[in-house]
């Protein structure tokens, strides 16, 4: 074996109420990547267990994320779409990685600190070792690339650390079995079984903020539904939310520097630029000097044109539970075969008798 086959992996947690931020930050990028890469897209329902979701809501949210994938344009025949819990090898490899990862590495993870808060002693062990499962999600397919946002860069770095330590610890065994790739680990050449997965950056993902507070990220947990555009919103609702979006009394500047200190204004310009697949500068070149009373209708029309067809298709697919389940079943079977190929070799490498 001389190289790792290029493969993209990414997952979305099924927490319900997908919104515009989820679409622009992740799902739209997934759709774009499938034209140039082999892709595996996963609904990570095991990760969702760290927040103790209602079981019925978890099943509903898992199907909703799947419907969003399909409505946005992901092809489940050319690529793989499945829910994580169908492939037991994710959890199996996660345990192996729990034994590879160091406590200090996990202690440094900022997402655990944020989610556990001050009462860390009362946080679940699952929340603490969450990054090991994330590493297993990626490496059970030996994925070479992962599209990541700013909030996931640290997790990908940990995935690389785990892969590198596994490769270092078992280099001789990997060589004896003839299942590795010669690679550099610092200044040392080792026989690696897992790739050091690279981040895939397709231009900066827009940071989508609340329509009611430009200093907060758009979130499903915000009590005001007017703070976000849900992927299931119809055209009238999308237009209404943009018309009611918070702004300030000044008009739009002609240059991006004029948006400094104006978070709500900047957010709407960012949204327009992201939906139109252009830059803030180009948006301001067109609308600079105008009032929001002119800009908001243009943004609403653009958002409706881009999102309403997805929302309509998502509602149609969501109504067909049998179809969604068939996609997940087929994807799970295909993913399971790939994952078992990896795990069979991992068991041999680490010395588990499994024949």
Residue 239 token pair? 């237009």
Distance CA 256, CA 291 (A): 16
Taking Cα atoms as reference points, which of 203, 207, 205 lies closest to residue 266? 207
Give DSSP secondary structure letters for 150-195.
GGGHHHHHHHHHHHHHHHHHTHHHHHHHT--EEEEETTEEEEESS-
Q: Please give the distance of CA 75 from its chain centroid, rounded to a whole number.
A: 17
End-to-end alpha-carbon separation of the chain, Å? 23
Distance CA 281, CA 277 (A): 12
- Among 60, 115, 240, 344, which one carries the catalytic annotation? 115
Give backbone dihedrals phi and psi of 192, rounded to 5 degrees, phi first: -105, 135
Distance CA 250, CA 268 (A): 14
The count of other CB atoms within 10 Å of the CB of residue 215 is: 9
Classify the phi-psi angles of 224: left when phi > 0, otherwise alpha if psi is within -120 to 50, otherwise beta.
beta
Residue 84 token pair? 């994580």
The count of other CB atoms within 10 Å of the CB of residue 107 is: 11
Q: Are 157 and 119 in contact (CB under 8 A)?
A: no
Q: Are 339 and 89 in contact (CB under 8 A)?
A: yes
- Among 60, 165, 220, 240, which one carries the catalytic annotation? 220
Instruction: Say whether 220 is catalytic.
Output: yes
Instruction: Say whether 115 is catalytic.
Output: yes
SS3 category, 77: coil
Catalytic residue positions, numbered: 115, 217, 220
């Amino acid at each position: 074996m001389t190289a790792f086959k290029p493969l993209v992996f990414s997952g979305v947690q099924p927490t319900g109420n997908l919104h515009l931020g989820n679409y622009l930050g992740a799902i739209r990028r997934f759709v774009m990547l499938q034209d140039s890469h082999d892709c595996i897209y996963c609904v990570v329902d095991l990760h969702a267990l760290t927040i103790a979701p209602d079981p019925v809501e978890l099943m509903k949210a898992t199907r909703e994320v799947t419907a969003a994938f399909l409505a946005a344009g992901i092809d489940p025949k050319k690529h793989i779409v499945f829910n994580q819990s169908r492939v037991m090898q994710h959890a199996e490899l996660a345990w192996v990685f729990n034994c590879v990862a160091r406590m200090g590495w996990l202690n440094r993870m900022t997402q655990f600190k944020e989610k556990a808060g001050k009462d860390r002693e009362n946080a679940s062990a699952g929340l603490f070792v969450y990054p090991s499962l994330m590493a297993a999600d990626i490496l059970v397919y030996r994925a070479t690339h992962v599209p990541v946002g700013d909030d996931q860069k640290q997790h990908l770095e940990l995935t690389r650390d785990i892969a590198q330590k596994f490769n270092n610890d078992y280099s001789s065994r990997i060589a004896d079995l003839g299942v590795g790739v010669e690679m550099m680990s610092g200044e040392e050449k080792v026989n690696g079984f897992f790739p050091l997965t690279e981040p895939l950056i397709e231009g900066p993902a827009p940071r989508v903020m609340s329509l009611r507070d430009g200093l907060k990220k758009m979130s499903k947990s915000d009590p005001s539904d007017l703070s976000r555009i849900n992927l299931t919103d119809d055209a009238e609702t999308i237009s209404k939310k943009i018309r009611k979006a918070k702004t300030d009394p000044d008009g739009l500047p002609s240059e991006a520097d004029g948006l400094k200190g104006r978070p709500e204004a900047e957010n709407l310009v960012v949204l327009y630029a992201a939906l139109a697949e252009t830059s803030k500068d180009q948006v301001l070149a067109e609308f600079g000097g105008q009032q929001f009373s002119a800009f908001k209708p243009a943004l609403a029309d653009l958002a409706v044109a881009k999102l309403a067809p997805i929302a309509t298709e998502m509602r149609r697919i969501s109504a067909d539970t049998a179809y969604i389940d068939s996609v997940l079943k087929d994807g799970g079977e295909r993913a399971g075969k790939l994952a078992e190929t990896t795990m069979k070799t991992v068991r041999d490498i680490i010395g588990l008798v499994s024949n």
